[in-house]
Structure 1
Amino acid sequence: MTLTELYQSRVTQGDLTADPAQSALVAQLSRVADDLAKPLKTGWFAKKPDPIKGLYVWGGVGRGKSMLMDMFVDCLDVSVRRVHFHAFMQDIHAQMHTARQGGVDDALKPVADAVIADVRCLAFDEMQITDITDAMIVGRLFTLLHEGGVVVVTTSNRVPDDLYKDGLNRALFLPFIEQLKQQMVVWEMTEGADYRQNRLAGSDSYFTPLNSASAEAFRAVWSDLTEASQTAPLVLKVQGRDVVLPQFHNSVARAEFGDLCGKPLGPADYLAIAQTCKVLMLENIPTLGRHNFNEAKRFVTLVDALYEARVQLIATAAAKPEMLYLEGEGSFEFERTASRLREMQSDDWRSADQA
């Protein structure tokens, strides 16, 4: 079944609502799929085929970009790797480190060759460049992959010209942006309904107390937002540390309170989480006070990072926001956090521009 046929069948069955913006993106993805399906000529006199242009899809959150990317991957008959861009770059850095230990002069070349030997298509979620080390290698990496016949398809919330915006030594990164525009079709997904917003609009996002009913309601939201897809951990590298989001899919992360607040994480870690996620689902927030003062301080910092980045928080908690922190040092200061937690539950806050 082609991607167009699969999309139309899901619309016909009522699983999806017909959407002109999504249909237009299906056509763009189908162009890539059709080019990848063409047989490669072999033999002594076979002319090397022209490189296939990839696709860079950018636009607001919740438009269905990642869902259509999943469908695109499912319809391909070639080797493909579907991965979050940040996780891919972390893997590249790890492999380069191993290559350097082997004494090679050019650590990137064997790593790129391994990717070329393994896949014909790389399907990325959420391409963004926030790290100077990524910025310094991504241009040459993409050149090697392109020359090796690997086709890149990626989603992003940013137009290419805004990648690594205000980054250190950004002038050195600008040639990559022009290179990207030449190697890929840049497609803006400007219209259409925000389906993630529609799922959350009018629904609860803060479940209390901690009991089986809250846990079941929380799981139902998770299943809906991830479309019951298989999830995997995402490891963020922050100042040399590993920050682990235990479950991650389509910009939605799920973690326990202890995963993010029970460990010695700081503002930089929470900022990285806020830059990576569009929705954070946090389970089992306990009552707070002098008995877990450090965890409470980290929770305050986490909420501030999510609030400023307009990341939607869905949580299970031992008590309502105003009743979470009732005694001990910091209880007065927590009133602002409680106010923010309450505000983040409103549809008005959710529907505000998150670009």
Structure 2
Amino acid sequence: MGVLTKAYEDLVASGEITRDPAQETTLSEFDRISEELAEPVKKGWFRKAPEAPKGLYLWGGVGRGKSMLMDLFVDVIDAPARRVHFHAFMQEIHAGMHQARENGVEDALAPVAAEVANSVRLLAFDEMQITDITDAMIVGRLFEALFAAGVTVITTSNRVPDDLYKDGLNRQLFLPFIDHIKERLVVHEMVSPTDYRQTKMAGSETYFTPINEESRAAIRAVWQSLTGGKAKPLKLMVNKREVEIPRFHNGVARAKFHRLCGKMLGPADYLALAEAVRVLIIEEIPELGRSNFNEAKRFVTLIDALYEARVKVICSAAARPELLYIEGEGTFEFERTASRIREMQSENWGK
């Protein structure tokens, strides 16, 4: 029995997860990668890097368990591995390239790719999606360098490879990367009728008011249900600035209102956040008005970005959406925001 199959069966036996045929069909691919990575690496002065085992491109609808399986695999595999959100990884690459250029390196990508390749044998990316032209123009060379160095790549995505960077600027230059993905990764669709993320939230409240110990406890319970209490900071590089969300796991992020709207953040920051998460828990939204007009404007911009990206929003707030902003300039405009917040609480939102 392969390492992921055993770990999966143990979770089923303990009652932590429910057996899912769609998930089970992917286990053999993970087990194959584990077995191939377990083969000893022959080293020598003039020996080329060993060819990386063929990776895995696991795609399908939101909440089907793709990230859960990948996380479990990274936990149990006996090989140098790193699991990272794809957007955060690309921001790291851009930051590294910027530093290389500052140091006068002509090919700024080469040392950055080499540093990554020297640290791992397996890279596991969550939610691969290409929406930025700068990512699209370097990701092909980056992956080619990683593959050449013997790094195996596993990635999850909500899109089939052919839909990556769909309708993007100069997309024809990106098409060779799609061919490379198909050549070096097994493309597997996870087809399941069950959206486990929605199932966990089905019938549950997602907007809690007023702000008190009861609503705080409710938010903690939602977070525990969606993430198992696991969390790491999500760091996003936006226009050479770092934006950090304190808690993030498996597409779910959590932050207090002041962290999101009390600082000098703008549309680009909120768009990056909306691209990186599927569920956002916003805690302790205060009453809004003249006294915190700038924070209120940022909140409107944040909700617009999340709405357009169909991100699920869970809130604790001082009042119902319609009563959050009841005085001062912007009251009329906030009616649309309140309506959007209500719509984003619906059970089918984000599907």
Task: Report TM bin, short chain.
Answer: over 0.9
Q: AA paired with 1:342?
A: R
2:122 matched to 1:116? Answer: no
Report what 2:238 is aligned to: 238
C-alpha distance in 2, partners of 1:302/1:171? 32
2:133 matched to 1:132? Answer: yes
User: Per-residue deviation at 1:322?
Assistant: 1.7
Matches within 5 A, 1:132-281: 132-229=133-230, 231-281=231-281
Q: Deviation string for 1:285-304 (max 9, x for gaps)? A: 00011111121122122222
How does the TM-score come out when normalised to structure 2?
Answer: 0.94
C-alpha distance in 2, partners of 1:23/1:188? 12
C-alpha distance in 2, partners of 1:323/1:86? 35
Report what 1:343 is aligned to: 343
C-alpha distance in 2, partners of 1:320/1:59? 35
- Of 80-89 and 334-343, deviating more is 334-343
- Of 176-185 and 89-98, deviating more is 89-98
Q: AA paired with 2:81?
A: V
SS, match of residue 333 in structure 1: helix
2:92 matched to 1:91? Answer: yes
Contact 1:20 1:192 in 2 (8 A): no
Contact 1:22 1:192 in 2 (8 A): no
Q: 1:300 to 1:194 in 2, by over 3 A?
A: same
User: Per-residue deviation at 1:233?
Assistant: 2.0
Matches within 5 A, 1:39-58: 39-42=40-43, 49-58=50-59
- Of 89-98 and 113-122, deviating more is 89-98
Contact 2:57 2:154 in 1 (8 A): yes
Matches within 5 A, 1:301-312: 301-312=301-312
Q: Deviation string for 1:296-350 (max 9, x for gaps)? A: 1221222222222221100110111122111112222222222222222222x43
Structure 1 segments unaligned to the other structure (5+ residues): none
C-alpha distance in 2, partners of 1:16/1:225? 13
2:331 matched to 1:331? Answer: yes
Q: Deviation string for 1:7-27 (max 9, x for gaps)? A: 011111211111001101222
C-alpha distance in 2, partners of 1:52/1:7? 22
SS, match of residue 142 in structure 2: helix
User: Per-residue deviation at 1:90?
Assistant: 1.5
Contact 2:51 2:147 in 1 (8 A): no
C-alpha distance in 1, partners of 2:252/2:12? 24
User: Per-residue deviation at 1:42?
Assistant: 4.2
Report what 2:24 is aligned to: 23
Report what 1:103 is aligned to: 104
Contact 1:127 1:155 in 2 (8 A): yes
Q: AA paired with 1:285?
A: I
How does the TM-score come out when normalised to structure 1?
Answer: 0.93
Contact 1:83 1:124 in 2 (8 A): yes
The number of residues matched between the two structures is 350
Report what 2:297 is aligned to: 297
Contact 2:117 2:149 in 1 (8 A): yes
Contact 1:288 1:325 in 2 (8 A): yes
SS, match of residue 319 in structure 1: coil
User: Per-residue deviation at 1:114?
Assistant: 1.6
SS, match of residue 110 in structure 2: helix
Report the aligned-residue RMSD. 1.9
- Of 275-284 and 43-52, deviating more is 43-52
Q: 1:44 to 1:307 in 2, by over 3 A?
A: closer
C-alpha distance in 1, partners of 2:305/2:331? 19
2:36 matched to 1:35? Answer: yes
C-alpha distance in 2, partners of 1:17/1:343? 30
C-alpha distance in 2, partners of 1:43/1:297? 61
SS, match of residue 339 in structure 2: helix
Contact 1:41 1:47 in 2 (8 A): no
Matches within 5 A, 1:4-23: 4-23=5-24
User: Per-residue deviation at 1:186?
Assistant: 0.8
Contact 1:261 1:299 in 2 (8 A): yes
C-alpha distance in 2, partners of 1:50/1:296? 53
SS, match of residue 332 in structure 1: helix
User: Per-residue deviation at 1:271?
Assistant: 2.4
C-alpha distance in 1, partners of 2:118/2:54? 19
Q: Deviation string for 1:17-58 (max 9, x for gaps)? A: 110011012222111111111222345898974431111111
Percent identity between matched residues is 64
Structure 2 segments unaligned to the other structure (5+ residues): none
Contact 1:3 1:72 in 2 (8 A): yes
